[in-house]
Structure 1
């Protein structure tokens, strides 16, 4: 493994209003092998301000990955997803829907709005750990041979 690859930090935007879920994700990513910068938006307006570099977010880098809950206040997750995927500056950011709303309708709507992945939230810490380790393996571990 390339040493420079180990040092690279991945920026993750968590769009979630549940403090317990946020804390759990932060702790798990902190313990992971990948160095990450975690940013949190507690509602849809805050998420869009962060992504569009408004006000206090002017100097933020574009995240490498977004973890998006559908049931967030002010602007729901579907509207946030739609805004991301229709914005030429943002649409290439992978968006993983992480929600308790696992209905077929929600899955279809997330697919329609081009979510990269749809996952039902785990129920406990161990399941969350496995899920986030899987996300780390799938989304952070890119090898130079995969680039065109």
Structure 2
């Protein structure tokens, strides 16, 4: 593990086409007291470009958490989720689906793809903040360097 990662803010990618909901997510994360850096993209194509560090996102950080809407323009969030979960490197990133869809097929497919959580809009902000705090706690544990073995 790279020592530069210890103690850094959590990198969060928000993939959301609604300005209103993006503002709600920003506010909830700010109140959640999790040290983070948030990048917001508004469609599925931008999300994929960001995740693969292409084009204007060539220097983008690898997110530690993805907050993903399913109903996105250009490339649907369902397609984005499938692509993430079928890529060996990206599938390790926790994904929280935040969507208006209560469709049983969307819920089942998200569970099959092992998302961290499936939350429907309007979000229960208290529950959302609690989930982000839990994910941050697990992420921080992963960031702790193992103790060096004693040298005799």
Which TM bucket (shorter chain)? Answer: 0.7 to 0.9
Distance 2:113 2:132 in 1: 23
Greater RCO (CA < 8 Å, at least 6 residues apart):
2
In the TM superposition, residue 119 of structure 1 has moved relative to its aligned partner by 1.2
- Establish whether residue 82 from structure 1 lines up as the match of residue 82 from structure 2: yes
| Cα distance per residue 1:76-121 (max 9 Å; x no partner) | 1110001101111211000111111012111112122332221112
**Deviates most, 108-117 or 19-28:** 108-117
Task: List alignment gaps of at least 5 residues for structure 1.
Answer: 1-6
Distance 1:12 1:114 in 2: 18
**Deviates most, 43-52 or 21-30:** 21-30
Counterparts of 1:43-122 in structure 2 under 5 Å?
43-122=43-122
How many residues align structurally?
138
In the TM superposition, residue 134 of structure 1 has moved relative to its aligned partner by 1.1
3-state SS, counterpart of residue 49 of structure 1: helix
Distance 1:131 1:89 in 2: 28
Query: Which residue is equivalent to 2:34?
Result: 34
**Deviates most, 90-99 or 7-16:** 7-16
In the TM superposition, residue 30 of structure 1 has moved relative to its aligned partner by 2.2
Q: Would you say the 8 A contact 2:34–2:133 is kept in 1? A: no
- Establish whether residue 136 from structure 1 lines up as the match of residue 139 from structure 2: no
> TM-score normalised to the size of structure 2?
0.82
Q: Would you say the 8 A contact 2:32–2:133 is kept in 1? A: no
CA-based RMSD of the aligned residues comes to 2.1
Structure of higher CA gyration radius: 2
